[in-house]
């Protein structure tokens, strides 16, 4: 490896548990392979405002267990403009950065894709998002932890739902994808999952009510993916009030607790493997790829495929929720 190789690391968009484990892995794998490392604060905004600091191995000590991101993250409208991206590139050159590792979700990787097309800088992405909505990867960093958070919250709600004989709508994150809702429903034994991938096919609420979920049960929990297409939990509760007034519906929106907390073992391992692989990819001359995982093997996924939003839901899982909620 040439002596002047320098990798910049940034986290962008919504934070996800395991981002720190990824930062740690990228930093240490880079140093191990003779790279200099620069930490870029506050995502793409830090590239524009020149918040770039040298990173040593001690910068990432004792962070693997921490949620959030030590590099911070911020939205950045300026980076959406060619002028903003030019300023960012000038700062990269000024600091001698020869490659970038971007940890984030679809917005972050879309930004990286545009940036790499305009300026000559190899970029490798790591899928850091609780939504698990990126193409070409079975899992994203933070998804497993968020799923565990949902499971713990719903287990507690189950106690009160059964005491009061109520229909509980629990809204979870997911952006445009129903992975958290669907797998959350399986993990918690919920009666249904209402997800955006299914909304054009059936009226999911009417189907749930018509199947008479109360046949043998005195309460029901329905996991709802936040999305204008599903109406969200509040929209569904309003509909129940109007169309099915015999049911006492309640809403719980889990919100940002899903993004927090110490990452699970699975997320720490995934982030560590992907972080080390990002440096491997740079050394191999890869550019404009995201590190994905398929059947437990790490793979390179072109940015254009990763952000395409055509990842499909497993229909067997949808059927499983139905079968097991009888």
Annotated catalytic residues are 131
Structure tokens at 202: 């059936």
Helix axes 19-32, 265-283, angle to 10 degrees: 40
Bridge partners, 220 (sequence order)? 167
Interatomic CA distance for residues 41 and 174, integer angstroms:
26
Torsion of CA 149, 151, 157, 159, to 10 degrees: -130
23-41: b (≥16 Cβ within 10 Å) or e: bbbbbbbbbeeebbbbbbb
Nearby residues of 186 by Cβ (< 8 Å), 6 or more positions away: 317, 320, 321, 324
Q: For residue 255, count other CB atoms closer than 10 A to its CB.
A: 11
Classify each residue of 96-112 as buried b or exposed e, where b means 16 or more C-beta atoms within 10 Å of its C-beta.
ebbbbbbbbbbbbbbbb
d(CA 275, CA 110): 19
The packing angle between helices 179-188 and 143-164, to 10°, is: 50
Which helix or strand (DSSP H or E) is residue 313 part of? none
* Integer Cα distance of 37 and 28 in angstroms: 9
Distance CA 109, CA 102 (A): 7
């Amino acid at each position: 490896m040439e002596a002047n190789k320098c990798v910049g690391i940034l986290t962008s968009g919504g934070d996800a548990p395991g981002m720190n484990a990824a930062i740690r892995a990228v930093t240490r794998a880079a140093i191990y392979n003779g790279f200099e490392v620069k930490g870029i604060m506050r995502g793409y905004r830090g590239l524009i405002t020149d918040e770039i600091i040298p990173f040593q191995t001690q910068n990432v000590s004792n962070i693997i267990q921490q949620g959030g991101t030590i590099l911070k993250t911020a939205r950045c409208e300026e980076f959406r403009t060619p002028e903003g991206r030019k300023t960012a590139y000038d700062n990269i050159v000024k600091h001698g950065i020869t490659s970038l590792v971007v940890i984030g979700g679809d917005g972050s990787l879309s930004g990286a894709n545009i940036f790499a097309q305009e300026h000559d800088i190899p970029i490798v992405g790591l899928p850091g998002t609780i939504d698990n909505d990126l193409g070409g990867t079975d899992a994203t960093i933070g998804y497993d932890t968020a799923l565990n958070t949902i499971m713990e919250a719903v287990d507690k709600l189950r106690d009160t739902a059964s005491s009061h004989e109520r229909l509980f709508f629990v809204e979870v994150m997911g952006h445009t994808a129903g992975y958290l809702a669907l797998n959350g429903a399986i993990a918690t034994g919920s009666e249904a999952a209402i997800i955006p991938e299914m909304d054009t096919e059936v009226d999911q609420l009417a189907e749930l009510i018509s199947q008479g979920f109360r046949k043998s049960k005195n309460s029901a929990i329905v996991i709802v993916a936040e999305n204008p297409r599903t109406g969200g939990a509040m929209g569904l509760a309003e509909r129940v009030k109007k169309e099915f007034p015999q049911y006492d519906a309640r809403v719980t929106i889990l919100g940002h607790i899903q993004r927090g907390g110490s990452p699970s073992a699975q997320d720490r391992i995934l982030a560590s493997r992907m972080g080390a692989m990002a440096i491997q990819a740079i050394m191999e001359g890869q550019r404009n790829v995201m590190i994905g995982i398929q059947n437990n093997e790490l793979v390179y996924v072109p940015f254009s495929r990763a952000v395409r939003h055509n990842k499909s839901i497993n229909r067997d899982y949808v059927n499983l929720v139905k079968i097991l909620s009888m």
